[in-house]
Chain A
Amino acid sequence: MGDNLTFHYMISGDDFTRAGEASSDLKNKLKMIGADNNVIRRTAIAMYEGEINMVIHAGGGEITVDISQDNIRIVLADKGPGIADVEKAMQKGYSTAPEEVRALGFGAGMGLPNMEKYTDCMQIDSELGVGTTVTMDIHM
């Protein structure tokens, strides 16, 4: 494959029904380059959770996807409020999502745990009042 492929997505923070469009687009691209089905599925799920988080908590953000021969790196960067307690946020069932989001079936406190579950490596860098950057790697 040679050079890395890089894709950028701007995530709008005001339309919950559009969350998932970037993940769908990436999924189609991975299909086109012939990535393994399981890798595609894990990538799509992890990125969708990230997208949803950006819409719910951060008013949107930017996603950069870097695909090399043996790895997919997804960097989700937002300028949201930041995560006060990352360890707590990683606990299954812990959620700070508002009621209207829960009414749609989200906000069960599974987003970050799902992202960790479906990726080979995940790192969260967050500063209160500045924003959050989540970096995920999925090995091919």
Chain B
Amino acid sequence: MTVQTLIESGLFKAEVPGSTSRSISKVFCCDLLSIAMGKAPENGAWVTVMGNKNTLAVASLADISCIVLAEGIRFQDEELECARKEQIAVFSTELPVFDAGLKIQELLS
């Protein structure tokens, strides 16, 4: 499955499409950036409520496919601009972290 698949699923609001052909291989849920840095799988879809600029840095450096901001959390314009520049896909949803992760898992399997 790719970022495009997740966009077309309509499960979440696509804030930044990023690199749409990028594959998504796993779901990863974590709000501590320190742990995400060490544990997030390559090409993972990362569900989190931590919406600051460092979230983008972690996603970019750890080769994460997309960020899904849960619980109605949104990036500010500055962060969205940075995501566009770095081609990082960003989604948002009102769902809690677990529910959002589960939806992606269902798409994956």
Contacts and interface: CB of A to CB of B under 8 A. Distances in A.
B33 interface: yes
Interface in B32-55: 32-38, 42, 50, 52-55
Interface residues of A, number: 25
Given A104-B54, A105-B55, A24 B61 contact: yes
Nearest to A118: B38
Nearest to A117: B38
B57 interface: yes
How many interface residues does chain B have, given as a range?
20 to 34
B15 interface: no
Given A24-B61, A27-B61, A44-B62, A19 B35 contact: no
Interface in B61-87: 61-63
B31 interface: yes
Interface stretch (A3-11, A71-79, A106-114, A120-128): A106-114
Given A24-B60, A45-B61, A110 B54 contact: no
27 contacts: A16-B54, A17-B54, A20-B57, A20-B58, A20-B60, A20-B61, A24-B61, A27-B61, A37-B63, A41-B61, A45-B37, A45-B38, A45-B61, A45-B62, A48-B57, A48-B58, A104-B54, A105-B31, A105-B36, A105-B54, A106-B33, A108-B32, A109-B34, A110-B34, A114-B34, A117-B38, A118-B38
Top 3 closest pairs, chain A to chain B, by CB: A20-B57, A105-B33, A108-B34
